[in-house]
Structure 1
Amino acid sequence: MAENRRGLGRGLSALLGEAEEISHAVDPAAGVREVPIELIHANPDQPRRHFAEAELAELADSIRDKGVLQPVLLRPSKRGEGEYELVAGERRWRAAQRAGLRALPALIRSLGDAEAFEIAIIENVQREDLNPIEEARAYWSLMGVMQITQEEAAKRVGKSRSHVANTLRLTQLPESVQEHLIEGRLTAGHARALLSTGDAEGLAEKVVAQGLSVRETEALARDKGGDAPRKASGPRKAPKDADTAALESDLEEALGMSVDVADRGGVGEVRIRYATLEQLDEICRRLTRS
């Protein structure tokens, strides 16, 4: 299993390369085979949920012209003998159905649930097939299912720890802003700039309406950064010293969540804001891990 883990960390070439290199194939001698489309079922744990209609139509046109150039990865399905579940390649499978194909070239491997889940996430993330929110949710799922840290998750998917941490933070944005990310109206760069503001939802609408660039969004966020509504009563918070601000930044990067450190002469509190139950599970797991 350790060898498989290292191979996954390097990418999917070992999985989707030459058939003779795949040691766990159900029938290694057969290599790539044609599998009837009606015998292939979607993976219920597929991290990708959004498939752009225009992209699917374009891929379907390409498949009609040139066929499916890269095999999908399958494993035997629990539905019955001779049926299969997709591990990697759902976009090709969907487009092939639109193109009217009756069979798909496929590699078949005997994979457990955890390994199939990990491969599905890595395949999507490495090929940048996920939108930023799907990518963030995929990281949370990977860490939860595999019981690994952000740093370990980053190694598995071949990304930097800071990239994973910054992507995870996007799930703290309001639902309407996340929807802009899912639909492609905002990029991850836009969203990261909005994270530091007190009105991410309002600014996001302005960015989308005016078609602002990432740099323009960053400038807008800086201008509006102090506009977050304040309570009418209560003393105004004093600015934090550089050491506390740096500590907050380090914790946010490590956790992928918003962190507030309130220090009063060596006594205070640390607040961690989570946006999903998966994030709460991750906090609990880290605090209780031996």
Structure 2
Amino acid sequence: MSEDVSRKRLGRGLAALIGEIDQPATPQSRPSVSADRLVPIEHVIRNPRNPRRSFDASDLEDLSRSIRQHGVVQPVVVRTSDGDRYEIIAGERRWRASQMAGLVEIPVIVRDVDDRTALEIAIVENVQRADLNALEEAQGYEQLIAQYDYTQNDLGEVIGKSRSHVANSLRLLKLPEPVRTMLAEGALSAGHARAIVSTSDPVALAKRIIDGGLSVRDAERLAQKDAEQANRPEGTVAKPVDAKDPDTLALERSLSDVLGLKVQLAHKGQGGQLRIDYKSLEQLDELCRLLGETNH
């Protein structure tokens, strides 16, 4: 069986498992057939490879109040660990809130999976529920690619996202640490971050965006001006240029999302230029494949 076929089947298997996870369980005193068993909550441990790092304190408190009243509506998915321990695959937020609620036992679904599949399930579950911030999502994708040799296409099939979505997520990891912190804390949106990731000073632009409450379109205009200044020959004076119209900026953004690469349009009369920037031969190969080239 080829690796590609195996991964496609794995993707379908993950989708089926996520469907099982979505089946509700009754309160912790009487688990439904969706849960395999009740286990002491102190025997459940977090997964150090979980892509989710931040948990909002107020959200956890709200969930803990619900658990006190209704129990754990959805079992935690785990795998066996050392001794009588269980490592969380999906559901760390429910486990944390259950601890806050004072539960002594928690319903679980036990699955026998390896490290790779456990990471895939954690990413799929969090992405489907929009629980990951943009940076955590990108770091999860990077971990799968680095450790298990996934291509962006393979990863897109497994998580149910387009290749361009994966590519654009991974671009966020090129941001300097201060900007990544702003993104993780929610001060900067993923759209803002993608707009400035290739600029000469993302930190300064990020602060300007936040201080001015600028929109994503405003951020794209700032990035365009930065690119024009960077490409201008040294010692020359910039000529006055009209700002790109919103339709052109929207088209640039749409093409960038499809290709996963920076795209610039320059209209000249009835014609113009289309510029696509790539930073590695791998990106060039992928671009050629998308354009239908076979010999390059």
After TM superposition, the score normalised by the length of structure 1 is 0.71
Is the aligned partner of 1:67 residue 2:71?
yes
Which of 216, 219, 233 matches 2:218? Answer: 216
* Structure 2 CA distance for partners of 1:50 and 1:208, relative to 1, 3 Å: same
**Distance in 2 separating the partners of 1:228 and 1:39:** 57
Is the aligned partner of 1:48 residue 2:52?
yes
The alignment's C-alpha RMSD in Å is: 3.6
AA matched with 1:201: V
CA displacement at 1:14 relative to structure 2: 3.7
**Distance in 2 separating the partners of 1:111 and 1:76:** 9
Question: What runs of 5+ residues in structure 1 fail to find an aligned partner?
Answer: 20-28, 234-248, 260-269, 274-278, 280-290
Which SS does the other structure have where 2:279 is aligned? Answer: strand
* CA contact 1:177–1:204 (8 Å) conserved in 2: yes
**Distance in 2 separating the partners of 1:175 and 1:133:** 11
Question: What CA deviation, in whole Å up to 9, does each residue of 1:128-171 have, x standing for no partner?
Answer: 21111111111111122332210110010011111111111011
* Structure 2 CA distance for partners of 1:84 and 1:144, relative to 1, 3 Å: same
AA matched with 1:68: V
Q: Detail structure 1 runs of 4+ shifted over 6 Å in the superposition.
A: 249-254
Counterpart of 1:181 in structure 2 is 183
* CA contact 2:37–2:109 (8 Å) conserved in 1: yes
Counterpart of 2:39 in structure 1 is 35
**Distance in 2 separating the partners of 1:143 and 1:39:** 31
After TM superposition, the score normalised by the length of structure 2 is 0.70
Which of 103, 107, 110 matches 1:108? Answer: 110
**Distance in 2 separating the partners of 1:144 and 1:219:** 34
Counterpart of 2:169 in structure 1 is 167
Question: What runs of 5+ residues in structure 2 fail to find an aligned partner?
Answer: 1-5, 26-32, 236-253, 264-276, 283-296
Which SS does the other structure have where 1:272 is aligned? Answer: coil
Which of 3, 12, 31 matches 1:6? Answer: 12
* CA contact 1:169–1:258 (8 Å) conserved in 2: no
Equivalent runs, 1:78-227 vs 2, <5 Å: 79-80=82-83, 82-227=84-229
Which SS does the other structure have where 1:101 is aligned? Answer: coil
Count residues in correspondence: 243
Using the TM superposition, name which of 203-212 and 37-46 deviates more.
Answer: 203-212
**Distance in 2 separating the partners of 1:50 and 1:106:** 22
Which SS does the other structure have where 1:226 is aligned? Answer: helix
AA matched with 1:7: G
Equivalent runs, 1:247-266 vs 2, <5 Å: none
Is the aligned partner of 1:272 residue 2:274?
no
**Distance in 2 separating the partners of 1:15 and 1:232:** 59
Counterpart of 1:265 in structure 2 is none
Which SS does the other structure have where 1:38 is aligned? Answer: helix
AA matched with 1:177: V
Which SS does the other structure have where 1:119 is aligned? Answer: helix
AA matched with 1:104: I
AA matched with 1:138: G
Instruction: Give identity over the alignment, percent.
Output: 46
**Distance in 1 separating the partners of 2:218 and 2:257:** 24
CA displacement at 1:253 relative to structure 2: 6.8
**Distance in 2 separating the partners of 1:105 and 1:195:** 43
CA displacement at 1:174 relative to structure 2: 1.2
Which SS does the other structure have where 2:204 is aligned? Answer: helix
Question: What CA deviation, in whole Å up to 9, does each residue of 1:265-286 have, x standing for no partner?
Answer: xxxxx9737xxxxx9xxxxxxx
* Structure 2 CA distance for partners of 1:128 and 1:65, relative to 1, 3 Å: same
Answer 1 or 2: higher relative contact order, Cα 8 Å, separation at least 6.
1
* CA contact 1:7–1:14 (8 Å) conserved in 2: no
